[in-house]
Amino acid sequence: MVNIIKSRGDRSLRDLVDLEKGTVAREIYVNEEIYQQELEQIYTRAWLFIGHESQVPNPGDFVMSRMGEEEVLLVRDRKNKLHVFLNTCRHRGMKVCRYDDGNTLLFTCPFHGWSYDTDGALVGVPHHKAAFHEELIKADWGLHEVPQMANYFGSIWATWDPKAPSFLDYMGVFAPTIQWCFQSTDGEDNGVELFNPATKWRIPTNWKFPGFSFDGDSAHAAMTHRSVNVAAIGPQGDMEGGSRAGMKAPFPKTSYEMMIPELGHGGHNYMFEQPGVSDYADTWQTEPKEVDEYYRETRAKKQEKYKDVYLHAGDGGTALIWPNVNIQPQRILIWHPHGVGMTESWRQYPVDKNAPKVVKDAQRRYMMRYGGPTGVTESDDMENWNYAFPASLGTVAQRLPYNFQMGLGHDFKDDRLPGMTFNYRIAEENQRARLRRWLEFMEAGSWDDLYPVNPKKNTDK
Amino acid sequence: MTTNATDAAIERLLFEREIEKFLYREAELLDDRRYNDWIELIAEDIHYHMPVRRNVKFGEQHRENSDSESEISWFDEGKRTLAGRVRQINTGLHWAEEPFSRVRHLITNIQVGDLDGDEVPVRSNFYCWSNRLRDEVNVFVGTRQDVLRRDPETGFKIAKRLILLDQNVLLSKVITTFF
Ligand code: FES
Ligand SMILES: [Fe+2]
């Protein structure tokens, strides 16, 4: 096992992930040393989702977030500038903040009392004169800040790697997808805010089970979510058994898996056969009629705005951004690594910031009963992700590879969306794209090996 | 004590006993997986609310529990959704509860308030043990603030239930039981 790590240079990880055959050794999901290597090679390099500016609207506001296993603070300083800091005191490492969110003038460490301004500067050190003889150079001991942060249409992202490519280069042709996901339903940029608080829960499994398969795994829905259909509790429409599918207005569109294998991003998106946005489908029947009216009107505005544009998201589309986040118009799913066999899942829900309360309430209640550990739909996902892990741990089990062959070799391109690769809507192309990027991150010595991307090099085995 | 005072005290004791029995009976129905009978104890207009618990600064305890008016909670729903959850468990296809977990609700610290019309506020603590498949254990501890309403058929119905689960990050992958 140790060999796999030590011989990183001689491509032995490549023996575990065979993208040509579509087979993957279970080891990469269960091996402790590979996991430690992931924290180093992936989580200190990749652009990670931090939160949204609406979580910290005022100077001094902060909210706890996370990058990989480590806590970070998203802070709006007193001059209105956003920062992302590692939540650790530079003296002896204590957490400088132990609140989930709030507003503060200073982060004062509860251990020995060093205090930091909201811009991260170390401003107070007890006994600075008597004990440090004023020799401590405070400017060198501020909170550790990410070297790169991006505010992309209100969404906040960061990377620990100063050499990582820019946020836009990292996202490639998926950048507009993210932009659309943070639009209000009428198609206006920066149109959403997040409901508070984020929900957080632990799933005893490796982060890649949910992280790679969520929404890259259309094949699971019919079986995993059978009880939702049998009990007729489809949550969007009628808890008593209404189905939305039959009410959808016809619009020439086809659902595909779409991805950029070279960057590891993917999604489960619509390719419209004509420009524009599909018609509004009757829904929200169990809510006051203002809700339906609101979404009908905003959809009409969006249709007008985008009538000449080919969209591939923003109308039910999703963006699976490498490595661990899935951005959708109404929910954001983050799968933080928390040990090789544990995932801490975070969930946040965007909503049109200018929507009336009755609309916000309807959407909030829908999200609460649908998703997460208490949602009627997703609770069954947790069971599957959970128990795939222990069932992959065994000595014999580890001799058997996972099968990622669905749709292998059936990917194609479409001129209308250059840069994207497509596959049938039920495929494992997204997951293969992630595995491919996984391999590259795990092998790469630096960002020079990862970007700019040379597709030839990546497929060359 | 005068006879009148004694009578009143006995009446009060019997009333409290009646409420305790109701809560124990409710827990038994859940633990025996008699969800169809349990849902009968739920009033049509129930507000069933389990907020998310925040870590907040001293003096900001009013923000500790997520607000049902504008924020995200673990559960924040009425009977229609609860009944849907019961139907889901009863399909036998709800993988997170198939096979059934072994669930035990220990209900303690019952404190009965004063009857107001036909409604009475009742507080209780719960220790809920859930053991699943071979060795999965989930423990939920917290307190409940109920409003119970007199009912000719079931004794009481649960008209309101605020559930404060004593966890910040939920340490279980799902919650598929009721409290
Ligand atoms: S650890 Fe923070 S002041 Fe010492
Ligand atoms: Fe699912």
pLDDT tens-place string over residues A76-98: 999 999 999 999 999 999 999 99
Report the amino acid identity of residue A453: V
Which of the listed CATH numbers 3.40.120.10, 3.30.420.40, 2.102.10.10, 2.60.40.1730 matches domain A55-149? 2.102.10.10
**Mean per-residue pLDDT, A298-326:** 84
Q: Which residues of A touch B77 (CB under 8 A)?
A: 365, 368-369
Output A7 or A157, whichever has higher pLDDT. Answer: A157
Span of A212-216, A435-439, B70-74, B144-148 with lowest mean pLDDT:
A212-216
Question: How far, in Å, is the centroid of ligand 1 from the Cα of A31?
Answer: 35
Question: How far, in Å, is the centroid of ligand 2 from the Cα of A220?
Answer: 7
| Closest to B146 in 3D by CA, of B179, B124, B122 | B122
| pLDDT surpassing 60 at residue A241 | no
| pLDDT surpassing 50 at residue A240 | no
Q: What is the pLDDT of residue A364?
A: 95
Q: Which residues of A touch B66 (CB under 8 A)?
A: 196-197
**Structural domain spans, chain A:** 55-149, 172-459
Ligand 1 environment, Cβ below 6 A: A 89, 91-94, 109, 111-114
Number of the ligand closest to the Cα of A114: 1
In angstroms, the CA A117 to CA A96 distance is: 11
Which strand ranges, in their side-by-side order, compose the sheet holding A106-108?
Answer: A106-108, A115-117, A122-124
Of B56, B73, B95, Cβ closest to residue A224: B95
Mean pLDDT of chain A: 89
Size of interface A-B (CB pairs under 8 A): 128
A177: Cα within 13 Å, side-chain hemisphere: 27
Q: How far is B107 from chain A (nearest CA, A)?
A: 22
Which of the listed CATH numbers 3.30.230.10, 3.40.50.10880, 1.10.10.10, 3.10.450.50 matches domain B3-165? 3.10.450.50
Of A230, A240, A379, Cβ closest to residue B176: A379
Q: What is the pLDDT of residue B136?
A: 96
Q: How far is A239 from chain B (nearest CA, A)?
A: 6
**Mean per-residue pLDDT, A251-258:** 78
Q: In a mutational test of the pocket of ligand 1, which residue from A85, A86, A87, A92 has the highest number of ligand atoms less than 8 Å from its CB?
A: A92
Q: What is the pLDDT of residue A8?
A: 43
With bands split at pLDDT 50, 70 and 90, how would you rate the model's confidence at A461?
Answer: very low
Alpha carbon distances (Å) from A380 to A86, B12, B88, B140: 34, 45, 11, 19
Number of the ligand closest to the Cα of A226: 2
**Mean per-residue pLDDT, A355-366:** 95
The length of chain B, given as a count of residues: 179
Q: Which residues of B touch A387 (CB under 8 A)?
A: 133
Span of A173-177, A319-323, A439-443, B173-177 with lowest mean pLDDT:
A173-177
Q: What is the pLDDT of residue A270?
A: 73
In angstroms, the CA A363 to CA A243 distance is: 17
Q: What is the pLDDT of residue A284?
A: 82
CB B158 within 8 A of CB B41: yes
Residue with the two structure tokens 């189905």? A243
pLDDT in tens, A264-292: 999 877 777 777 888 887 778 788 999 99
Residue B68 three-state SS: coil
Share of chain A above pLDDT 70, in %: 90
| pLDDT surpassing 70 at residue A43 | yes
Mutate to test the interface with A, among B36, B48, B69, B88 (most CBs of A within 10 A): B88
Q: CA-nearest residue of chain A to B167?
A: A201
Q: How far is B92 from chain A (nearest CA, A)?
A: 8
Minimum CA distance residue for ligand 1 atom 3: A112
Q: How far is A341 from chain B (nearest CA, A)?
A: 13
Q: Give the atom of ligand 1 at the shortest distance from the alpha carbon of A114.
A: 3
Q: Is it true that domain A172-459 has CATH number 3.90.380.10?
A: yes
Angle between helices A289-305 and A357-370 (to 10 degrees): 100
With bands split at pLDDT 50, 70 and 90, how would you rate the model's confidence at A2?
Answer: very low
Q: Give the atom of ligand 1 at the shortest distance from the alpha carbon of A112.
A: 3
Question: How far, in Å, is the centroid of ligand 1 from the Cα of A92?
Answer: 5
Output A250 or A2, whichever has higher pLDDT. Answer: A250
The length of chain A, given as a count of residues: 461
Residue B166 three-state SS: coil
Span of A144-158, A301-315, A378-392 with lowest mean pLDDT:
A301-315
Alpha carbon distances (Å) from B104 to A376, B28, B33, B40, B123: 22, 8, 10, 20, 19
Output A461 or B132, whichever has higher pLDDT. Answer: B132
B169 to A344: CB separation less than 8 angstroms, yes or no: yes
CB A117 within 8 A of CB A123: yes
CB A1 within 8 A of CB A31: yes
ipTM of the complex: 0.95
Low-confidence ranges of chain B (pLDDT < 50): none
The answer to pTM > 0.80 is yes
With bands split at pLDDT 50, 70 and 90, how would you rate the model's confidence at A452?
Answer: confident
Q: Tell me the sheet residues that pair with A350.
A: A194
Pairing of strands A101-103, A61-67: antiparallel
CB A260 within 8 A of CB A420: yes
With bands split at pLDDT 50, 70 and 90, how would you rate the model's confidence at A250?
Answer: low
In angstroms, the CA A413 to CA B156 distance is: 64
Q: What is the pLDDT of residue A239?
A: 43
Q: What is the pLDDT of residue A271?
A: 73
Minimum CA distance residue for ligand 1 atom 4: A112
With bands split at pLDDT 50, 70 and 90, how would you rate the model's confidence at A162?
Answer: very high
Would you state the structure tokens that stand for residue A54, as one six-digit string? 């609406």
Number of the ligand closest to the Cα of A94: 1
Q: What is the pLDDT of residue A459?
A: 43
Q: Which residues of B touch A206 (CB under 8 A)?
A: none
With bands split at pLDDT 50, 70 and 90, how would you rate the model's confidence at A312?
Answer: low
